[in-house]
Each structure stands twice: as C-alpha cells, then as structure tokens.
Amino acid sequence: MKIIAGPCQLEEDSFEVAKYCQRIAEEHGMEYYFKASFDKANRTSLNSERGLGVERAMPIFDDIRRNLRCKVVTDVHTTGQVAIMKEVVDVLQIPAFLCRQTDLLLAAKNTGKIVNVKKGQFLAPWDVAGIISKVGEENVWITERGTSFGYNTLVNDFTGLQYMHENYRTPIIFDATHSVQKPGGAGTVSGGNRNYVPALIRAAVATGHVDGIFMEVHPDPDNAPSDGPNSLNYAMYEKVIKQIQVMHDIGVIMGVR
C-alpha cells in the first residue's frame, strides 16, 4: 500500500514532517511518498498564502529525497514548472482542476516521471478514459478526491473506485483529506472536517480497489497555511495508518486483495 502524505504547503521545517510520516508508514510495511506543494496556484482568495515558490522549495525537496531516501510528490500547474521540478521530485501531480489540460499532461508524461492525475471533481469515473487517452497507463496514477455535490460539498461514490480499478491499468489512489474539504466553504478560504477522514479511509481500503492513500498531515493543522481543517495531526495519522494495516490484512483474508 502506498502512503502519500505531508503538509498541504511545503514549509521550511517540512523535513521533520516527512521524517515522521515515513517512519510510521514504513513501520507498518507501507511504501511512503512525501507530498507537499511549493505553489498553491488554486487558492480561494488572492490574499491566501501561495507557498515557498520554486527557488526555496527545490533544496528542501532535494534534502528530503537524499537524506530520508523517500520519494517526493509535488503538484505542477504549468509546463514551465514541470521542466524545473522534474529535477527534484519523483512524482509530478496534476491538480484536479487541470486534469484535462493536454499540454500540461503531455509535458509531465514526457519527463519519464510518474504522473499522478487528480480526477477532477467534475468527472465521472468513466471520464478518466479521456485522461488515459492522452498519457497512457504506464507510470500513471489516478487519484480520487471526491465529486462536487451542490455547493461547497464533495462526496465519494465508492463504486467509482471499483470501476476505475477494474477498467484502467493504473494504480488507484484515494485522497481522503481533500474528500472532506469544502471548497470555498469558509468564505475566503476552504473549509473541511478532518474528523471524517479515518472513516473514509477505512471504507476505501475495505473495497479492495485502492493501491494507495493520499492524506495531508501537519503537526499543527489549525495553524497550517492551507487546508488545515481537513489535515490530520500526528496522532490521527498514526492511528489511521494502523487502521489501514488492519483493513488491508482483513481484505487479504477475505480474498478482496
């Protein structure tokens, strides 16, 4: 099971977050990927914090890769960012709202890196075929992060996980923390409720149709620069990793894995 975890925004002390998340994941036999954004180009408000930017982020990503020997994931919004960030990360992530941007998809694919495409909140599971037609299925992940339902609400249809797992030859990742996000739900920022995350993770793993779990983790979520309401604290992260292991083992016994 892949665990993609880290703070929403990369911070100067994110090495310690990566070190903690890696230790907990690997203690339970899971493959760890550190994830953080160097530029949040899709914030609700112009006044929201964007992140460290390219120049400050690159040495931090490089330090995490070299010293922790873990793989690094970050999202890219332009073809120019792809050309730069490919040097210091292992997985290039395409944000949900950009999942149909052909030039961005092709630029990421042509790097030879793994490309993690967030399934847009506006797409049905079978619409992912359009993404696959552009980037193929080799070295590609598809990540489910909920579907828009009315205003400021995302919901998950777990039959979609099964559909994608059975119809696409790509790892299917479940993004638990963004699934409880309420985009723009707090006025000038997005809201959310981290207390719903563990149950969604248990349900996703129990289907037997996910290859990894994506979650945002922060030592002090209530003071995180972005996505704090839906980010897990350390205690919640460790507890949910243990639950993933149990659910995975049950799935093996029941024959769904």
Q: What is the pLDDT of residue 190?
A: 66
Can you tell me whether residue 103 is helix, strand or coil?
A: helix
Give the Å distances, CA to CA, from 93 to 36, 50, 64: 10, 17, 18
The DSSP call for residue 40 is -
Q: Give the global pTM.
A: 0.93
Q: What is the pLDDT of residue 48?
A: 64
Distance, in Å, from the CA atom of 210 to the CA atom of 172, rounded to the nearest integer, reads 5
CATH of domain 2-254: 3.20.20.70
Please answer whether residues 98 and 128 qualify as being in contact, where contact means their C-beta atoms are separated by less than 8 angstroms.
Answer: no
Name residue, tokens 């037997």. Answer: 208
What are the domain boundaries of the chain? 2-254
Q: What is the pLDDT of residue 251?
A: 79
Nearest to 115 by CA among 146, 76, 78: 76
Average pLDDT of each block of 10 consecutive residues along the chain (257 residues)? 97 97 97 94 66 94 98 97 97 97 98 98 97 98 94 92 98 96 67 92 96 98 91 98 93 73
Q: What is the pLDDT of residue 59?
A: 97
Q: What is the pLDDT of residue 87?
A: 96
Distance, in Å, from the CA atom of 26 to the CA atom of 23, rounded to the nearest integer, reads 5
